[in-house]
Chain A
Amino acid sequence: MQRTIPIIVCFVFGLFMLIQFFVPHRISVSAYQTVLDWMQIVFVFTLLVGVISYAKLNAKKVTRTQTGWGYNLIGLVGLAVMVILGLWKGTGEKTAFLWTFNNLQAPMQSTMFSLLAFFVASAAYRGFRARSWEAGLLLAIAIVVMLGRVPLGSFISQWIPDAANWILRTPSMAAKRGIYIGIGLGTISTSLRIILGIERTYLGGK
């Protein structure tokens, strides 16, 4: 029963969403809108599950003083502080929540993102080797695109940005299109397997 009911719910709603797309009747449109509203409501609860899971996991590491428990404690304090500030005076203009977001969270997240430049440079120096003909070609294309996407490229020669744009608009786009078609076909087949109850791993267990 624990598995049968979710499979029936999934089949009914999957089939409904598939059929309603072709039925423009107001009852179909209204039911579709209701399902969309419920999708958002359910999603909010999944956020809640995420926060509870994060808090439990980190609290466990702190209470057991596992390696790096200090970082887990900072994470928990950060979560609690942002929730308290948001509930206390809201999230609008000139609130402590917004100040904390602008002056702590945003710079910290930007810093983490910026660190990529350092690691990319280090990794490129150590790992980007023309070990084979294919690797050499990849390296040459990477250099052309890197130069072509900055003003320095056109400063050296107009050929560089033209070549970089051609690479992005033709071979790179063709590869992306192939990937998207693959993703689309994979999504359709997986969706059908879930709707028909063939794919059951999302239910958990064995």
Chain B
Amino acid sequence: MSRQLIFILIALSVAIPLVIRIGLPNEVTSEVMHVYEEIDRLEAGSVVLVSFDHEASSLPEVKPMAQAILHHCFAKKLKVIGLALLAEGTAVGEQILRATADEHQAVHGQDYVFLGFRPQYQAAILGMGEDIRRVFPEDYSNTPLARLPMMRKVKNYEDICLIISVSDGDMPKRLAVATTAVMATSFYPFLSSGQMVGLLGGLKGAAEYEMLIKKPGMGQRGMDAQSVCHLVIILLVIAGNVGYFMKKPSTVGRPPSAAKAK
């Protein structure tokens, strides 16, 4: 099978389900349910920190997750502090936070703030543990934090109920992570040890969270495309193996080195 044909099959398997909805039923995994329950049990007025630690390349995957979580936070009347520990997360994070806040009539400075970006994330994370104002003296719109009503009672992590990292790479109190599917496996040891409350893995995580908050979005739409795409790849792998076994029956079951030696 030519490479061009494979590329066309993949393009069609992604594009067609995005246009024509299949509506395959999705199930909520315990990791996603734990994030939902953690946010849901917080009282109105509790402070949640959402860190946009991703690059623009993973936007189609992380944006639906960030939107779903922020919709839940604002619907629960939680106070949201947004920030970015990767430069490209700044513009993306600020836009997602502002757009979602506007939908819920949340007021900047009272219900949410966006602190912007700080380089060298290890130093920024450790510094915020001591005093957020020292790392971020002003927010993204250059307003001193002391002048923002919701930041007057927030000094460090002790005043924050939950930290959510929306990330596309490896990355403290109670932490939930929303990351790309490819990076999700990296977080299972922390989930198992109880260092993390829950995990949203890629578009599937977004789709599951959208189901929980009953607000369908790009996550659920994308799962049909991802299902068909995975199926096409599996069929391609099976076809490739069928071709391989039909072509070289004598080498079947032998390690490549033995087959080569023969």
Binding site for B on A (CB under 8 A): 29, 32-33, 36-37, 39-40, 42-44, 47, 91-93, 98, 101-102, 105-106, 109-110, 112-114, 117-118, 120-122, 124-126, 128-133, 139, 142-143, 146-147, 149-152, 154-155, 161, 165, 168-169, 172-173, 176-177, 180
Say whether, besides A29-B130, A168-B188, A176-B186, A125 and B6 are in contact (CB < 8 Å): yes
Main SS at interface, chain A: helix
Whether, in the assembled complex, B124 has its beta carbon less than 8 Å from a beta carbon of chain A, the answer is yes
Contact of B119 among A44, A121, A154 (CB under 8 A): A44
Q: Is the CB of A113 within 8 A of B233?
A: no
CA distance in complex: A2, B14 (Å): 57
Q: Is the CB of A147 within 8 A of B192?
A: no
Whether, in the assembled complex, B249 has its beta carbon less than 8 Å from a beta carbon of chain A, the answer is no
Q: Is the CB of B244 within 8 A of A113?
A: no
Q: Is the CB of A173 within 8 A of B189?
A: yes
Closest 3 CB pairs of A and B: A151-B24, A43-B120, A152-B227
Q: Is the CB of B189 within 8 A of A33?
A: no
Whether, in the assembled complex, B105 has its beta carbon less than 8 Å from a beta carbon of chain A, the answer is no
What are 25 A-to-B residue pairs whose CB atoms are below 8 Å?
A36-B127, A40-B119, A40-B123, A40-B124, A40-B135, A101-B91, A106-B56, A109-B59, A113-B57, A117-B10, A124-B233, A128-B237, A129-B241, A131-B254, A132-B255, A139-B237, A149-B181, A149-B230, A151-B26, A151-B223, A161-B27, A168-B188, A169-B188, A176-B186, A176-B188
Q: Is the CB of B59 within 8 A of A168?
A: no
Whether, in the assembled complex, B231 has its beta carbon less than 8 Å from a beta carbon of chain A, the answer is yes
Whether, in the assembled complex, B250 has its beta carbon less than 8 Å from a beta carbon of chain A, the answer is no
Whether, in the assembled complex, B215 has its beta carbon less than 8 Å from a beta carbon of chain A, the answer is no
Whether, in the assembled complex, B143 has its beta carbon less than 8 Å from a beta carbon of chain A, the answer is no
Inter-chain contacts of B213 with A (CB < 8 A)? none
Inter-chain contacts of A132 with B (CB < 8 A)? 253-256
Map CB proximity to A onto B181-203 as digits: 1 under 8 Å, 0 otherwise.
10011101100100000000100
Q: Is the CB of A43 within 8 A of B234?
A: no
Q: Is the CB of B29 within 8 A of A176?
A: no
CA distance in complex: A37, B119 (Å): 11
CA distance in complex: A12, B243 (Å): 63
Inter-chain contacts of B229 with A (CB < 8 A)? 117
Q: Is the CB of B189 within 8 A of A118?
A: no
Q: Is the CB of B56 within 8 A of A110?
A: yes
Tell me the nearest residue of chain B to A152, going by C-beta. Answer: B227
Q: Is the CB of B119 within 8 A of A43?
A: yes
